[in-house]
Chain A
Amino acid sequence: MRKILIIMISMVTLAGLSIGATQTSAFTNSFLVSSFSEVAASRTISESSVTSPDLNYISHGQVDSYVIQPGGGAATISQTIESTAQNYNGLGGGATFSSKVTATDVTNSYIIMKGTSTAEVCNKQDNSKIKSQTFGMGIAKPGEGEYSFEVNGAQKTTSDMVLALAPIVDYTKLLDKELIVAFEQIPTEFEQTPDILQQEVNFNYATSNNQPTYYGYDFTSTIAVDDTMCSSSMSLSHINY
């Protein structure tokens, strides 16, 4: 009898703790192979959102990479955007951006990564639905030679499907604004064309209640000019506490 009572109390307690919790994770990849181009450029866009009766979170990510190869050169550009959004423990989300460029005969290279996110309370009331959306897009400039360009992506959404009020920790004016987080590479210009250039940037950030809680990046670069090769790298993690 005592055991049954304990089990019943536990069930009621667990039920009371359940909240409407939905999490969406999505990624978009693009991959460009250009055999002969004077400018090789690629842009990947990924947008992800999760909407529940009370909360709405949207993140938008964009990666641009380009290399200038005046005499014509080969290039591969791979880009990835991964984003997550969730509506529990406040409005949260984050994104990871990655760009890897390998090219020959380069005189200029540049990478820019930009993420925006908004978090808000929905006015639309429909207490029975949770919706997640993911949009991915890629476009490239491959040059005049043969090329291959592909885009792929995926989305995963999980929800506990117990709809109840999700907690809004701090509803401030920030929630009415769009947060913009961007990594902008210092353009690399070459007086003497390197034999090979390989640069990779992985940039990511996380937000909570539309405030950045973390951002960081990993950068690696390998450049060879004649008999000299330089490998450099930097990792940075910034935590807002």
Chain B
Amino acid sequence: MRTILIGILLLTSCMMCTDARISLEMSYYNSDDDMSMSLEGANLAFDSFCTLEPHSLTYSNGGSSKQPQAEYSYSLALNGETTFSSAETDSGMFGWSGNVDAGGDLGLDSLKVSTVSAVKDGSLNVAYGNDDLKVQEMVEAEKSGYQQQAQLSPNTVFSKGSGSTLQPVTGLAEILLASTKQSSFDTTEIEDDTTEKGEKSESSNALKTGSANLESSNDAAESTTSSDAGSNPESDPASSESQSQGIRYTINVQNVPKNKQGTIDSDVMGRTEAQWATQVKSESDEYYSFGVKTRGIGFAPIDELDMIGQATGFPLQILPPGNVKISYKDKTDSETSESWDPWAEPLEKYLELIDQQSRIFDSTYAGKSTPALWYYIENVYENKIPANIYYNPNLKGLEQYQLSMEFKVSEE
């Protein structure tokens, strides 16, 4: 065996921390490459494995926690390029894994980090990214769950998250069912959730799979709009007051080289059943995107329902985009039933309206206006045929009949 093994360093670390903080730094290098790892955290399990040769370096590690109060902050660097991730939760879980493969026969260096984190009825703060893009997500979930996954490399960031409220809102399913039967309101989207629940039940539990994405939020967390959830409106009289649930979510993305940042705040809280989907995508330093999508149904008024976005050099984006106002006004004397004659010739009235509106428009938007273009269509139906329905005792009969007769005569 001509190959001479100059040196192999095999290091395996494994530790489990419970109610304890740890701080760990590792660095390995050979003549071609150098890498480093740092970890700080509490209440987590961690292990790592490294194979170091003169011209190759292989490293893998990972950690996780399902402790109620847990956090970690992790970075992994190869030849000066860094990826990082961190998470902190009081009612959730997180995990990560990192891999470094440098040198070797092909000379291809790679650094990859995968993370996953989730929260159920609590708070979760996660951060991840690389030297170009830094992402931070903050979640406050009340009777709701949210989970996200991220894949990182020195040049790319991909992240998807999904969430949903966890409890059906008392009485909502019954009203949906009734409105579906009795009205023509478009509840297609909500119905889809309900009817497809059976098909999606396996993949829709975000805390298990996290397969949601921004384009197909149908795959988001388990739908709570189901009408077969077994809820009984009468079983918990206090539930209607205590059923506020939802998620307050913030994502901040920083583009380090360009010194730009953007933020989306999404708050949904109230007697509602809702779903969320989030996504971050950065395929190169030339392009990245991030977004949040939420949808739901609930009893009005929903206490919090808004989404606000801002970015460097960009105007504030606010949803809802406006307000709907409903009011009643007493009719003026000229509009009352006593004076209103619907059969009168209306042309004069409309000519007056055209003149009035033109003047108002001109005063509102100073300057030259187009002439008012208008039309008037009138249909009058006059019933000249009596529609009396009465019984006629002198009805004549109408009969439909068929007869047949056959004679056969044979000459003998």
Contact = CB atoms under 8 A, between A and B. Distances in A.
B228 interface: no
Instruction: Give the secondary structure class of B's interface.
Output: mixed
A176 B354 CA distance: 26
Nearest to A45: B357
A139 B370 contact: yes
A232 B326 CA distance: 25
Interface stretch (B125-133, B376-384, B402-410): B376-384
B373 A137 contact: yes
Contacts of B367: 39, 141, 143
A43 interface: yes
Nearest to A18: B387
B365 A41 contact: yes
Given A129-B382, A221-B317, A56 B342 contact: yes
Interface residues of A, number: 96
Contacts, number: 237
A10 interface: no
B380 A139 contact: no
B387 A163 contact: yes
A131 B324 contact: no
Contacts of B378: 131-134
Contact of A133 (B331, B364, B369, B377): B377
Contact of B186 (A133, A140, A237): A237
Contacts of A190: 315
Given A137-B374, A159-B381, A234-B320, A179 B315 contact: no
Q: Which 5 A-B pairs have the closest CB atoms?
A: A15-B389, A185-B322, A51-B342, A151-B373, A137-B374
Contacts of A237: 185-186
Interface of B: 175, 178-179, 183, 185-186, 260, 262, 300, 307, 309, 311-315, 317-331, 335-338, 340-343, 346, 350, 353-354, 357-358, 361, 364-365, 367-384, 387, 389, 391
A135 B374 contact: yes
A201 B323 CA distance: 12
A88 interface: no
A129 B315 contact: no
Contacts of A225: 313-315
25 contacts: A11-B389, A43-B357, A51-B342, A120-B340, A122-B342, A128-B382, A129-B343, A129-B381, A131-B380, A135-B350, A135-B375, A137-B357, A137-B375, A139-B372, A155-B379, A159-B381, A161-B381, A163-B387, A184-B322, A192-B313, A192-B314, A234-B320, A234-B321, A236-B320, A239-B179
Contacts of A120: 337, 340
Contacts of A163: 383, 387
Contacts of B387: 15, 18, 161-164
Interface in A177-191: 177-186, 188-191
Contact of A230 (B175, B311, B325): B311
A80 to B, nearest CB: 15
Instruction: Give the secondary structure class of A's interface.
Output: strand
Interface of A: 11-12, 15-16, 18, 22, 24, 26, 30, 39, 41, 43, 45, 47, 49, 51, 56, 66, 111, 116, 118, 120-124, 126, 128-144, 147, 149-151, 153-155, 157, 159, 161-164, 174, 176-186, 188-192, 194, 201, 203, 212-215, 217, 219, 221, 223, 225-226, 228, 230, 232, 234, 236-239, 241
Contact of B331 (A118, A212, A228): A118
Residue of A30, A137, A179, A221 with most partner-chain B CB within 10 A:
A137
B300 A157 contact: no
B127 to A, nearest CB: 22
A136 B178 contact: no
B323 A186 contact: yes
Contacts of B323: 183-184, 186
A213 B378 CA distance: 28
B335 A138 contact: no
Residue of A22, A116, A182, A221 with most partner-chain B CB within 10 A:
A182
Contact of A118 (B335, B373, B381): B335
B380 A129 contact: yes
Contacts of B371: 139
Nearest to A134: B377
Contact of A178 (B309, B328, B354): B328
B335 A177 contact: no
Nearest to A192: B313
A177 B321 contact: no
Nearest to B346: A133
Given A39-B367, A122-B342, A130 B380 contact: yes
B324 A181 contact: yes
